[in-house]
Structure 1
Amino acid sequence: MPPSLPSPSSVTRAAITLPILARAASTTSAGTAVTPNKPPPSKDHHVHTYSPEAFPLGYTVSSTHAGIKKKAGALDLGILVSTSDTPCSAAACMTRNVFKAAPVTVTSELLRNSNGRAKGFIINSGCANAVTGKKGLEDAWSMSNTTTSQLPPSGAQSDKEGTLVMSTGVIGQHLPISSILDKIPELIRTLDDSPKSWLDLSKAFMTTDTFPKLRAKTFKIGDRLIRMAGIDKGAGMIAPNMGPPQPPHATLLGVIATDAAIKPEDLQNALNYAVDRSFNNITVDGDMSTNDTILCLANGAAGSAEHGGRETEEKMKELTEKANPEEFGIFKEQLREFAEELAQLVVRDGEGATKFVTIRVKGAPTYEIANAVAKSVANSSLFKTAMYGEDANWGRILCAVGYTPLSPNPISPTSVSVSFLPPAASSNTTPLRLLTNGEPEPNIDEARASEILKEEDLEIEIDLGDGNEEAKVWTCDFSHEYVTINGSAEEEEGWMYD
């Protein structure tokens, strides 16, 4: 640790002498603060519905109950298939956990063998097929190969293009593979592109999630009307660190399907950029999963904008970053924004979460430093429990800033400023400054601080005063409910959820 950086212990001791603002907590007769066990807020308003024209052209989806989840009728198996006669580009960002689950290994190999092309994907929930040895790999391949063999041939697609695989649920248990394989013909028979089918597919992703996470958007690239649809899941075991597929050596799963035409290697580059600034910047509990996977599929079925985006005889030509820098730049930024929205839904559904917290670090010499500081604060259990207790002890923020490993670029304590930012919908959006250039604000409005911390959405701004780069990380609080969920036996009787 650089000599100018305060050690964690010294920062903690110093925090004891800092002003402690009013706490939203009751007190026992012995004087010990006790935070009421407040329930998480309703998440129903995060479930969106869409009209049929909102979804990308050239995809059909289906889902069913395959008996993986014990609850009768619970959707636990789903597929998405590209029906376009244009080969479907595919990209993936996957966990860097050394214990990669079987579906991660299989999907990586499928993408390598096909040079970034795929027919679609199959997903199951209720069992992660992780830490399952050779049998787990055989089962993942069976899911992929059985689905691919039963799909009708599609135009210019070749035999190398397969069906990608994702799994989520209990770690350390084998899939009921016979039940899954028996259900695949039903899935293929019931494929369609209705809004209900898309929503049902998002439900088939869920494990400890409290709501299905489905989003859609439309934008223009030149004369083409481009559509995206995205689904993801996650509520616990969330601290993704994903990258492109690598050679073999409660999970976040997601897919973004678009009818844009993008060359596979450029789609991978765009997804890397988007994931680094979205899914890799969320944390619920600091635990990286064995199954984290984000897929992006682009089938080129988009039609002209003047025809409402309907498919036309003249196919969209595949964009590349080199040949079409302007158009590709639009796609890349739209993908990043969309991925950011999907990633934030995971944090909002964090297990037991009552707060959605944005950590914004600015004034940094590099993006990497800003990002590291933001993640240090977002992963601090002391900070997260303080947010649950609506406790404005900002010394915990400084503590996490101070122990961020940044050598050889130390933070200057006399340059750091900290503020609470109210949500945009608040009646008073003026920032509340707590620390300015390392000096505590002398007359902090404690009532205002308490008012801000009662909000469901919070933003903490940390200015390092040492540059022009900034980064955002999204997190949630730690509640009594989080401990209850993760400290008890899971409903599926497994070791742990992924």
Structure 2
Amino acid sequence: MNKGTIKGEITLTQATSTNEIVVLENAGITLPQGYKAGGMHCGVKRKRLDLAYIVSEVPADVAGVYTTNLFQAAPLLVTQESIAKENKTQAIIVNSGNANACTGEQGIQDAYQMQKEFASQLNIQEHLVSVTSTGVIGELMPMDKITTGISQILQPEFEAEENFLQAILTTDTCAKHIAVQFTIDGKTVSIGGAAKGSGMIHPNMATMLGFVTTDANIAHEDLLSALREVTNQTFNMITVDGDTSTNDMVLVMANGLAENDQLTKEHPDWDVFVNGLKVVSETLAKKIARDGEGATKLVEVQVNGALTAEDARAVGKSIISSNLVKTAIYGTDANWGRIVTAIGYSGVPVEPNLVKVSLGSIPVFENGLPCPFDEVEAKSYLEQETVQIFVELNQGNSSATAWGCDLTYDYVKINASYRT
């Protein structure tokens, strides 16, 4: 099976219903009412699409989470400043191929110019445009190409969600999207998502961009609360290579066109909305992890029996971030010692004699000692496209799941010549 097929299999094969949420594998950010998207080639890249947009018919309440890297790129600074004015966004303009990071005052002015040019095309206030960039760090934006592209991008031939999905990619090997629908107050509410990310991926927002649209009626503060809760369980639980980038963000737009009663934490269907947002975010997070640069496997670590959710997340992140664990999985080596070691340096006060570790259904460590297991069976399991590691701490009732990928020779090849 080729690599592209492996990565594509993360999508669901049919719509399914879970807790009143219908998952639509072939839909995305334009499924909710009142949104359109598109993309084009403007010349930042040599051939591939590199400029994209999302537009809502009306200003939308917006919430965002951003990279923890102290070197935040110019678009993030401009977007955060703009959103702070009234917590609304009506449009997002995105370019790939150039990160506009570490570009000084000129980079800030270029981000403002992108915002101004797109706002002019839409005839809306400038602060209602969010700006996003991804690509090579430290190079000034080719603003002549960008502004020419913005002046043309709203033409009908460029409007297509698939164009958007392709235009935001860098080293990704596939587009990433998903949507869900559910009913609130008798109204059909939709949430759609799209993302890019393949390398420089690490918990606490990495080189990834996430775009989520919904037609739900929900105020900014509650939307932000839901996003932060869900992000800690999804986007902040993935890693590819341990690097946290300069440009990364997740933005959620809620334009209210579903006309449900305004959602708050007191609304009886609040959990339905949050779970829908979690399904979208988790699906995108897993697609990013599976599409890790050079990766051949999705690795899922499930930690149970922790004293707190924070402890469970810390243990999961520690295992999924270990290069020794990742290379062992690539080599189909059931080296449980590397997993146990990662648990031990996670910073969580575990009791070694209580810990149990399994590769899929195969126990490999329990009660402080290795378990007898069939090496051939374990190797065969590690050859699968999705590998699950189960950790039971036996100290409490909290759990968490983390996702990552194996670390391969191709990762080195890709990143050894990223700029060239």
For Structure 1 versus Structure 2, the TM-score category normalised by the shorter chain is over 0.9
**Structure 2: how far apart are the matches of 1:198 and 1:111?**
24
Evaluate the alpha carbon distance shift between residue 191 and residue 60 of structure 1 in structure 2; reply closer, same or farther with a 3 A threshold: farther
Cα displacement (A) at 1:367: 0.6
Distance in 2 (CA, whole Å) between partners of 1:467 and 1:287 is 31
Matched, 1:368 2:307: no
Match of 1:103 in 2: 75
Which residue number in structure 2 is paired with residue 57 of structure 1?
33
Give the equivalent residue in structure 2 for 1:275.
Answer: 231
What is the percent sequence identity of the aligned residues? 41
- Distance change in 2, residues 1:47/1:140 (3 Å): farther
Partner of 1:228: 191
Q: Distance in 1 between matches of 2:123 and 2:157?
A: 12
Q: Deviations over 1:409-459 (max 9, x none)?
A: x211111100111xxxxxxxxx11111222222x31222212211101010
| Gapped regions of structure 2 (runs ≥ 5) | 13-24
How far apart, CA to CA, are the structure 2 residues paired with 1:173 and 1:105?
17
1:133 and 2:104 equivalent? yes
Structure 1 residue corresponding to 2:260, chosen from 283, 294, 316: 316
Cα distance in 2 for partners of 1:53, 1:183 equals 22
Give the distance between the partners of 1:255 and 1:128, measured in 2 at CA.
17
SS in 2 for 1:202: helix
Corresponding residue for residue 368 of structure 2: 438
What is the Cα deviation at residue 192 of structure 1? 8.2
Shift in alpha-carbon separation, 1:187–1:375, aligned structure 2, 3 A: same
Partner of 1:186: 152
1:459 aligns with 2:415: no
Q: Per the alignment, in what secondary structure is the counterpart of residue 93 of structure 1?
A: strand
Matched, 1:417 2:356: yes
CA offsets 1:436-490 (integer angstroms, 9 cap, x no match) = 222222x3122221221110101000111101101110010100100111112x3
Q: 1:141 to 1:191 in 2, by over 3 A?
A: farther
Instruction: Specify the structure having the higher radius of gyration (Cα).
Output: 1
Query: Structure 2: how far apart are the matches of 1:66 and 1:251?
Result: 22
Q: SS of 2:153's equivalent?
A: helix
C-alpha spacing 1:64/1:375, structure 2 compared with 1 (3 Å): same
Cα distance between partner residues in 2 of 1:251 and 1:81: 23
Matched residue SS, 1:88: strand
Per the alignment, residue 90 of structure 1 pairs with 62
Report Cα offsets for 1:17-52 as digits up to 9, x if no partner: xxxxxxxxxxxxxxxxxxxxx984633445787379
With normalisation by structure 1, the TM-score equals 0.78
Q: Distance in 2 between matches of 1:44 and 1:378?
A: 21
Structure 1 gap ranges (5+): 1-37, 154-158, 243-249, 303-314, 422-430, 494-498
Matched residue type, 1:294: V
Q: Give the counterpart of 2:200 among 218, 228, 237.
A: 237
> Closer, same or farther in 2 for the Cα pair 1:123/1:53, shift >3 Å?
closer
**1:102-148 per-position Cα deviation (integer Å, ceiling 9, x unaligned):** 0110111011112x101120000000001110011101111112111
1:483 counterpart SS class? helix
Q: Deviations over 1:68-100 (max 9, x none)?
A: 0012xx11001111014xx41111010010000
Distance 1:54 1:190, change over 3 A: closer
Work out whether residues 54 and 218 of structure 1, in 8 Å CA contact, stay in contact via their aligned partners in 2.
no
Residue pair 1:78, 1:124 contacting (<8 A) in 2 also? yes
Partner of 2:78, secondary structure, is helix
Whole-Å Cα distance in 2 between the matches of residues 68 and 478 of structure 1?
A: 30
State whether residues 180 and 276 of structure 2, in contact with CA within 8 Å, keep that contact through their aligned partners in structure 1: no
Deviation at 1:227, TM superposition (A): 1.2
Q: Which has the higher strand share?
A: 2
TM-score normalised by length of structure 2 = 0.92
Contact 2:201 2:208 in 1 (8 A): yes
- Is this contact kept in 2: 1:60–1:192, CA < 8 A? no
> Could you say what secondary structure the match of 1:237 adopts?
coil
Partner secondary structure for residue 365 of structure 2: strand
Residues 240 and 292 in structure 1, CA contact (< 8 A), matched pair in contact too: no
Q: What is the alpha-carbon distance in structure 2 between the residues aligned to residue 152 and residue 165 of structure 1?
A: 16
Q: Quickly say closer, same or farther: Cα 1:467–1:344, change in 2 above 3 A.
A: same
What's the CA shift for 1:151?
Answer: 0.8
| Separation in 2, partners of 1:168, 1:162 | 20
Contact 2:29 2:192 in 1 (8 A): no
Contact 1:60 1:191 in 2 (8 A): no
What residue number does 1:32 align with? none
Displacement after TM superposition at 1:190 (Å): 2.7
Question: Relative contact order, CA 8 A, sep 6+: which one is greater?
Answer: 1
1:342-361 correspondence runs (5 A): 342-361=284-303
Instruction: Kindly state the Cα deviation for residue 214 of structure 1 after the two structures are TM-superposed.
Output: 1.8
**Aligned AA for 2:144?**
S
**Do the aligned residues in 1 keep the contact of 2:63 with 2:224 (CA within 8 Å)?**
yes
Mapped partners of 2:118, 2:393: distance in 1: 52
User: Residues of 1 paired with 2:115 and 2:201: CA distance?
Assistant: 26
Equivalent pairs, count: 407
1:54 and 1:216 in contact (8 A); partners too: no
User: Which residue of 108, 132, 139 maps to 1:166?
Assistant: 132
Aligned to 1:292: 248
| Matching residue of 1:425 | none
Assess, with a 3 A threshold, how the Cα gap between structure 1 residues 53 and 382 changes in structure 2: closer, same or farther.
closer
Distance of 1:363 and 1:453 partners within structure 2: 24
The aligned counterpart of 1:396 is: 338
Alpha-carbon distance change, 464 to 45 in structure 1, aligned in 2, over 3 angstroms: closer
C-alpha distance in 2, partners of 1:374/1:240?
Answer: 11
Listed one character per residue, the Cα deviations across residues 291-330 of structure 1 (whole Å, up to 9, x for unaligned) are: 111010011112xxxxxxxxxxxx33432224x2x22221
Partners of 2:142 and 2:50 in 1: CA distance = 12
Conserved? CA contact 2:4–2:174, under 8 Å:
no
- Counterpart in the other structure of 2:168: 205
